[in-house]
Structures are given as structure tokens and as C-alpha cells.
Structure 1
Amino acid sequence: MTAMPLRHAIATCLLLLLLAACQRDQAGTAAAPGADATARKAQDADAPAGRDTGDAQPAGPGRSDGAAASSEEFPALVVTTLDGGRYDLAERRGRWVVVNFWATWCAPCLKEMPELSALDALREHVEVIGLAYEETDADTLRAFLAKHPVVYPVAIVSTYDPPADFPTPRGLPLTVLVAPDGRRVKTFLGPVTALELEQAIEAAGGPAPGEGA
């Protein structure tokens, strides 16, 4: 008569141990770091040409939810420009920065370059950095820019190792607007005008178009 209750007791103990193990497995499983950022980056890169891919949500040290700022929200960029200088996006705090991916073979890129150059020259609160996204060398690019001059600095970035904190270009031009606090606020895939950039700056809390010169 005692054999049946003993087997029940052993079975109950085993069941409890299995349930405890399952709970430990679930508690130890977390999303891979950067998984959400990778998915959003892929959505940005696949957006139709000329489409604004949207605004990043405000984030950073002042966030009330205590969440840490991601590299997608506050991108880093350190490149060597054609003149041998070091360009560090983190040192541009206090200004709106237009990060423009382009290539010498890209006709829409060449069409927007004069507007970007004028924006950089005429607006003290805005600066542009051009990233030549193609397989070329410095001498070839300097010769090209001698015929298509711009006032802003230009650097070559590898198509095999593009800046990690920015969307990987699936089409050109690709332009990213970075706020004075270092936050990425808007991304454009396709040609963008100076007016559209100034309107984006105003929408993000900056000066209205034509102001802040």
C-alpha cells in the first residue's frame, strides 16, 4: 500500500525540478545586443529612394527611463579627410552636422553637392562632411573634386567596412542629419535639398530656414 504514494512523491519531485530548470532557462535568455538596432538599420537602408526614413526618438543622458543611448541614436564617426585631417563627429557638438554618403559615379550626388556646399558656407550652425562611398584612392578623388569643388571636408570610406553606426548605403546619395547633441534625427535615402535639410533642422528644434546665418 505504501509503494504507490512513494512513486507519486518521486514523480512530483521530478516535475518540480523540471519546472525550476525551465524557469532558469527562460530568465537567462535575452535579446542579442544590437538586434533591434540592426533591424531598424536594415529598414532605413531598404527605404525607397528619396524617402525620408524617419526621426530617431530623443535619447541620451537626460532620458527619464534611464535607458542607455545606443550607437544608432548617437552615432560615432572618426575619419581621415583628403587633406590629412582627422574628423571626429564627437568634436562637432553644438552644430548641426550633415553626413552625406556619395560617389563620383552617382549623378544625383553630383547634383546636390553645390547645395550642400552652399548650406555649409552660408549657415554657421550647419556643417557638412562628405563620405565618398566607393573604391577609389585619394589622388583620384582630389582630381575629381578639383573639377567639382566643395567647401566641406571629404573622406573616403570603404564599401566593405562602412561606418558601423550609420545605415549601410543600399543606394546613393544617403544623408544623415545629426543634431548638436550628437543625436541622429533624420535620414534621407536619395537626393536632398538644402531647404529640406533646413526644414528638418527646424522640425527638430533648430533655427528656421534662412535663420542662424
Structure 2
Amino acid sequence: MTLNAIQRRALAAMFCLAALAACKREPAQAPPAKPAPAATPAPAAAAPREATADFPALRLATVDGGTFDLAAHRGKWVVVNYWATWCGPCLKEMPELSALDAMREHIEVVGLAYEDTTPEAMRAFLEKHPVVYPVALVDVYAPPKDFEVPRGLPMTWLLAPDGKVARKFTGPVTARDIEAAIAAAGGPPAG
């Protein structure tokens, strides 16, 4: 076994432990009270906003050869889901996230595979575990700067149509959780 293989196994073990720690569902918390917005969110055609933690930017190559650009999805609710092939809860939520993306025109999902693998290996994995949403590989040593490094997997962000972070979920998430968060943030009710 080479040193590189030992490092990969140690890294995989570390991520597994982190994922197991994150698998516990956090207790539901009411969002902090906010004053009513002074105006309605800017339409999708508005000038681009500077990326911040509240309004993150994300542009990544997807394993199918395309590009996912968060800014191109303004006007829709976007689910950004960090996951890994070795994470049991992640694999369990993939079919539900795929169905949510397929069945709700106002919701888009993107999967960020947070692991050290190749695009070829990920494409082979996705042939056995297909999803309708795009998947991008994320460098575990240099993840997207506008999203915090996951404390465990899965980890999911819900972004409002104006691009603002509406909710962050640590641990498994369901379509019902996402639709309830959208409704609570003033979006369309589940249906």
C-alpha cells in the first residue's frame, strides 16, 4: 500500500465519522424573527449581486460535461446538497431529491459530491444511482468559498429565488422538509 492510499483511507475514515456524527437530525428551530422586507425581492433580470455568505456564488463543472452556475437559476428555489458516495444517509435522500427536482418547476437541485474521486468514477456511480439533477465534484481541500465546509454529510442549503440563503440543513433532508422551509419563507406551499 502506498502512502497515498493510506492517506486516502484515513481521509475516508475521517469523513465517515463526520457523516455519522451529522446523521442525527437537529431539533427543529423556529427561524429568528425578521422585520418585514421593505420591498419584494429583485427579479431575475436584476443586476448581479456581489457574492456573500447570505448571497453565495457557485459555478462548477458538472460530471456530465456541463456547467452549473447558481446565478443562472435566479427566480427559482435552489437546493445545494453536499453528499458522498460512501454516505448512507446521502444515498437514501438522493431519489427523493431527484423526484423533487423533477416534479416541482420552481425547485432546482444540484448535488456537490464532496469526495476525492474522478469524474469517470462518479459517472459510473451515477449510472447505478441515477438522478435528474446535475452533480459536480467538489475538491475536499478547496471547496466553494461561499459555502462553509460541511461539518458532516449530508449538508444542504436552500436558496430563495433572489439567491439568498433561506435555510441550511445538517443531516438528512426530505422533500417535505424543503417544501415546508419554502412555504415558511413565503414561497408556494407544498402541493
What is the rounded CA distance, in whole Å, between the counterparts of 2:98 and 2:70 in structure 1? 18
* TM-score calculated relative to the size of structure 2: 0.77
Look up the equivalent residue of 2:68 and give its one-letter code: Y
Match of 2:70 among 77, 89, 95: 89
1:59-89 per-position Cα deviation (integer Å, ceiling 9, x unaligned):
x9969xxxx9761110000000011111110
Match of 1:50 among 7, 21, 25: 25
Q: How many residues align?
A: 161
Match of 2:173 among 192, 196, 206: 192
Look up the equivalent residue of 1:167 and give its one-letter code: E
What is the rounded CA distance, in whole Å, between the counterparts of 1:75 and 1:88 in structure 2? 11
1:187-210 per-position Cα deviation (integer Å, ceiling 9, x unaligned):
001000000100000001111111
What is the Cα deviation at residue 49 of structure 1?
Answer: 4.0
**In angstroms, what is the RMSD of aligned CA positions?**
2.7
Q: 2:118 corresponds to which residue?
A: 137
Q: 1:181 corresponds to which residue?
A: 162
Look up the equivalent residue of 1:176 and give its one-letter code: W
What is the rounded CA distance, in whole Å, between the counterparts of 1:99 and 1:69 in structure 2? 19
The answer to whether residue 109 in structure 2 is matched with residue 128 in structure 1 is yes
Q: 1:166 corresponds to which residue?
A: 147
Q: 2:95 corresponds to which residue?
A: 114
Q: Which runs of 5+ in 1 are unaligned?
A: 1-45
Look up the equivalent residue of 1:177 and give its one-letter code: L
What is the Cα deviation at residue 118 of structure 1?
Answer: 0.3
What is the rounded CA distance, in whole Å, between the counterparts of 2:50 and 2:30 in structure 1? 18
What is the rounded CA distance, in whole Å, between the counterparts of 2:23 and 2:134 in structure 1? 28
Look up the equivalent residue of 1:50 and give its one-letter code: R
> Counterpart of 2:182 in 1: which secondary structure?
helix
Larger helix percent: 1
What is the rounded CA distance, in whole Å, between the counterparts of 2:121 and 2:29 in structure 1? 32
Percent of residue pairs bearing the same amino acid type:
59
TM-aligned CA distance change 1:141 to 1:204, over 3 Å:
same
Q: 1:147 corresponds to which residue?
A: 128
| Contact 2:158–2:166 (CA under 8 A) maintained in structure 1 | yes
| Contact 1:55–1:187 (CA under 8 A) maintained in structure 2 | no
What is the rounded CA distance, in whole Å, between the counterparts of 2:154 and 2:29 in structure 1? 13
What is the rounded CA distance, in whole Å, between the counterparts of 2:31 and 2:71 in structure 1? 20
Structure 1 residues 67-86: aligned runs within 5 Å: 71-86=52-67
Higher Cα Rg, which structure: 1
What is the rounded CA distance, in whole Å, between the counterparts of 2:31 and 2:52 in structure 1? 15
1:111-155 per-position Cα deviation (integer Å, ceiling 9, x unaligned):
000000000000000010000000000000011010000000000
What is the Cα deviation at residue 50 of structure 1?
Answer: 2.4
* TM-score calculated relative to the size of structure 1: 0.69
Match of 1:204 among 176, 179, 185: 185
